[in-house]
Amino acid sequence: MLSRTGGRPTNQDAYGFWPNHNNCFLALSDGAGGHSGGDYASKLAVKEALEFFQRNPVCSVDSIAGALRAANAAIVEAQRQTPQFAEMHATVVVLAIDSEIGTAIWGHVGDTRLYCFRNQRILLQTRDHSVLQTMVDAGYLPSGEVRGSPQRNLLLAALGGANGFEPCIEATAFAVQDGDVFLLCTDGFWEHVDETQMEQALQSSASQEDWLRRLESLVIAHGGEEQDNYSALAVSCKAHARVI
């Protein structure tokens, strides 16, 4: 995992994970709202999501939905109670992995992404809740132009949003295979690393730490002085022999 300030005065990204004997739950959030609002929103989202998983340690659609609802409700309540937090929001992605039966489920709000790699190739990725993603889906914008667009940060959904709470949750359990890799990352990270570079770096890396270092070098090279906060978590899934 890594989380950096980039060229900003503070880091408004937050992350965390909580494992038990057969599950692992992860959350990554990117806050917005000015002053201390974004920082607080992202930390609150991660805290509430992981605490929900601790109370409900099950890898299921309901658990993902409950964790996202808890995170959203906490931010909405903080907006209501504290005037300085009235405009704060956050994007988030949560991932639950059941290592006993080999399944994973995830959900997200906004443009913090999850990628799944199999055989060092991208098998799937989440779709941003953004204006540009809608244009891509409608055929009005090539997907390769999203990263460089000045409208990239126009979101259609976020935690604490006034237009309601509309998370996207994987509908069915995903069957994890030996060697699968998950990458959770904020927009400050994926903005400067395209999918081909992700795959190439993974193919030439000796470990997940090495992989993230290689990707971070691309972020630093392309980000410049105004680089946004950037954060990423990598999860490698390995099969283990069971002793009976």
- The pLDDT of residue 242 is 53
Give the CA-trace dihedral at 170, 70, 180, 206, to 10 degrees: 150
Architecture per CATH, domain 11-234, reads as 4-Layer Sandwich (3.60)
- The pLDDT of residue 23 is 95
244 residues of the chain, pLDDT tens digit each: 999 999 999 999 999 999 998 999 999 999 987 667 999 999 999 999 999 999 999 999 999 999 999 999 999 999 999 999 999 999 999 999 999 999 999 999 999 999 999 999 999 999 999 999 999 989 999 888 888 888 888 999 999 976 667 889 998 999 999 999 999 999 999 999 999 999 999 999 999 999 999 999 999 999 988 899 999 999 999 987 554 4
The answer to whether residues 60 and 105 touch, using CB atoms and an 8 Å cutoff, is yes
Can you give the residue ranges of every domain in the chain?
11-234
- The pLDDT of residue 226 is 86
- The pLDDT of residue 243 is 47
Closest CA to 112 of 213, 24, 201, 41: 41
HSE of 163, CA atoms in CB hemisphere, 13 A:
9
Maximum Cα interatomic distance, the chain, rounded to a whole number of Å = 58
The answer to whether residues 109 and 126 touch, using CB atoms and an 8 Å cutoff, is no
- The pLDDT of residue 77 is 95
One-character DSSP codes across 195-233? HHHHHHHHHT-SSHHHHHHHHHHHHHHHH-TTPPPEEEE
Alpha-carbon distance of 237 to 83, in angstroms, equals 43
DSSP state, residue 86: T
DSSP state, residue 71: H
